[in-house]
Amino acid sequence: MNQTASAPTRIRVAIAGYGNLGKSAEQLVKRQADMDLVGIFSRRDNLDTDTRVLPAADAARYADEVDVLLLCLGSATDIPEQAAEFAVHFNTVDTYDNHALIPEHRAKMDAAACETAHLSLISTGWDPGLFSLNRVIGASLFPEPQQATFWGPGVSQGHSDAIRRIPGVIRGVQYTVPNEDAVAAAKTAGAEIPTGKQAHVRRCVVVADETDHDRIRETIVNMPDYFVGYETTVEFVSEEEFEREHTGMPHGGRVITSGDLSGSHSSVEFGLELGRNPDFTAAMLVASARAAARMHASGRVGAVTVFEVPPYLYSPQPLDQLVAGSL
């Protein structure tokens, strides 16, 4: 059966939010042969774009024009506060990345989407997202898997967004840096692998008025789910230095799984090196929009995770073509 048999011929996509992720998603949607960009929902009406801008407060009025809404919103507050309301009116895809709260987010989105027979594909991107899939597959290969995930070196969008939400912060960015000794231990038989909080350093670079430095530093290092338990450094710089040295958005990371297989030690590694984090995250978001539209067209509703998506649904190629060329 062709994978697109029950899916829309062209997928009508809209975007909610127009920060770095929304801008990257806009450009990528325009390059998809099977998608049309309906518009961008925003609280602002002066966006620098040729795409139709629609008021976020009136989004429900446009529900019949949209097959999938990409929620390009921050994980710190925007998604928890707004995503479920969008899911009542639209099929949605998001990149919610607060790992500890994903079960809660899933339950909330499931209730909202089921209320009106919509589908919400949650926590896409690369971690959660691609790394989540590789953790499951890697661990499934070994009777007693030894596994570790390393992020960076690079900029974390979610953590940077959380910093920028702090009152008094003018500009802010957070770099995640892996501990290379921990990386080596992950591949070594019988080695004790440091936990995620021990295996990384979180480096925060902030622009703020000098009178706010102590308060902002304390707020960052004590922020639950983001910085508590990590070795966290907070560096205050001038706006000129920030503009000169801290406006790029590289990132990457690795998932390493190893273990014994009938007396031999093997390891499996999946890695990413990203030139610009929002671009790659948007790429997964856009591919997930295709999968979400197809799953909803086949009758699936409620919250869905990346674990539940058949891989071929992400691809613009027909299933028969994938079988012939990729297996």
Q: 116 in helix, strand or coil? A: coil
Q: 321 in helix, strand or coil? A: helix
**Strands laid side by side in the 53-55 sheet:** 53-55, 35-42, 11-16, 68-71, 92-94, 119-121, 302-304
pLDDT of residue 45: 87
Q: 18 in helix, strand or coil? A: coil
What predicted TM-score, i.e. pTM, was given to this entire model?
A: 0.83
Is the peptide bond preceding residue 153 cis, with omega within 30 degrees of 0? yes
Phi-psi region of 123 (alpha: psi -120 to 50; beta: other; left: phi over 0): left
DSSP state, residue 135:
H
pLDDT, block means (10 residues), the chain with 327 residues = 56 97 98 98 94 96 98 94 98 96 98 98 96 97 94 87 96 91 87 81 96 98 94 96 93 94 95 93 98 98 98 96 94
Phi first, then psi: what are they for 173, rounded to 5°? -150, 150
**Which tokens in the block code for residue 153?**
């070196």
pLDDT of residue 179: 83
CA 21 and chain centroid, separation = 10
d(CA 153, CA 137) in angstroms, rounded, equals 24
Beta-bridge partner residues of 269? 256
pLDDT of residue 182: 87
pLDDT of residue 2: 44
Task: Please check whether residue 164 is in contact with residue 177, taking contact to mean a CB–CB distance below 8 angstroms.
Answer: no
pLDDT of residue 7: 59
Q: Determine how many CB atoms are found less than 10 A away from the CB of residue 26.
A: 22
d(CA 7, CA 311) in angstroms, rounded, equals 16
Distances (CA, A) of 230 to 156, 198, 322: 14, 7, 43
**Which tokens in the block code for residue 44?**
């602002």
Length of the chain counted residue by residue = 327
Q: 111 in helix, strand or coil? A: helix
Q: What is the DSSP string of 218-261?
A: HHHHT-TTTTTTSEEEEEE--HHHHHHHS----EEEEEEEEEEE
